[in-house]
Amino acid sequence: MAPKNNESITSYFQPAGEAKGKSKAVIKSTEESNPNTSKATSQSHPQTKGKGKRQTSSSPLPPTKKRPNTTSTPTTQPSHLAYTDIPSNWLQDTPANDSPTLHLTHHKGDLFAAPAHTLLIHACNTQGHWGAGIAKAFKSLYPAAYRAHHAFCAKAHDPKTKPVPTGTSQLLAPVDGSEHWIGCVFTSAKYGRAKDKPDAIVRNSVAAVEMLLELVRVAKEAGEEVGVVRMCKINSGKFGVPWERTEEALRGIVLREGWPGEIEVWEPREEV
């Protein structure tokens, strides 16, 4: 690396004063004897600004290669849907007289061993608690879905002063890496001894399932993929309503355009 000051080199071999005088005399004599050469040299090799910079070669540099943009575009996650995402008068149209009704099929096995994009339905209270019955299994298998559900019930709403209305639904988009949709039908305001009466629960079940089918239509219209619809025997567990009552009421639902026409009802296989 070159020293910053040439005077230090000169002073090492001879006195500083003599070196400076001789150096200036030589430079001046050279410029006077051939001024054109000095001028041409200064023009062809202009000094670059800045201390210690070297003149770069006049040959063109090879073109720099642009690095490919490897930044992946973030994928848009599907949104959770609820009664707040559809108009209040969404069900005022009168269906045609020949419109089909909801078809229920019965199956035995694991409700949760379902293909990707399956919609799994269970009955919920409006307090945001999945603490007992099959709801507890949903909470264990889909913790992120539960957090979204609880936030909707307990933060976006006030369970005491402004709870989620019964007879409505919430459609939770696939989270937890499961690719399963979760359908929450609010059939009772509370749980335990404070749960609604059986007649109210059955009535709420019809309205809530109708809304859930509409939310599925909205999700599909937005480009989301919702596949087979599965349901446990809702209300027959902790809410204490015989399944036959709920089933009869659900079979009377008249289908609208774009609604799924069939729901699979699953129950555990009997152990031998």
Query: Per-residue pLDDT tens for 237-267?
Result: 999 999 999 999 999 999 999 999 999 999 9
Geometric angle at alpha carbon 62, from 56 and 67, rounded to 5° = 120
* pLDDT band of 217, cuts 50, 70, 90: very high
By the 8 A CB rule, do 119 and 216 touch? yes
Over residues 9-13, the mean pLDDT reads: 38
Instruction: Measure Cα distances from 116 to 76, 104, 174, 225 in Å.
Output: 18, 21, 9, 9
Paired tokens of 64: 């720099």
How much is the pLDDT for 28? 45
Over residues 229-233, the mean pLDDT reads: 98
How much is the pLDDT for 4? 46
How much is the pLDDT for 77? 64
How much is the pLDDT for 20? 44
How far is the C-alpha of 212 from the C-alpha of 259, rounded, in Å?
9
How much is the pLDDT for 193? 95
How much is the pLDDT for 60? 55
Instruction: Measure Cα distances from 8 to 23, 52, 107, 223, 244 in Å.
Output: 14, 16, 96, 78, 105
Is the confidence at residue 17, as pLDDT, over 80?
no
How much is the pLDDT for 178? 84
pLDDT, greater one: 251 or 5: 251
Q: Which fold has domain 81-87+97-267?
A: Leucine Aminopeptidase, subunit E; domain 1 (3.40.220)
Smallest CA-to-CA distance from 250 within 268, 267, 235 is with: 235
Domain with CATH 3.40.220.10 in the chain: 81-87+97-267
Residue bearing tokens 């410029």: 31
How much is the pLDDT for 117? 97
Over residues 137-142, the mean pLDDT reads: 97
Which residues lie closer than 8 Å to 207 by C-beta, 6 or more apart? 167, 168
Assessment of whether the complete model's pTM goes beyond 0.85: no
Q: Which of 27-36, 130-139, 160-169 has the lowest mean pLDDT?
A: 27-36
Instruction: Measure Cα distances from 99 to 94, 135, 160, 207, 252 in Å.
Output: 10, 33, 40, 18, 11
Paired tokens of 55: 């003149």
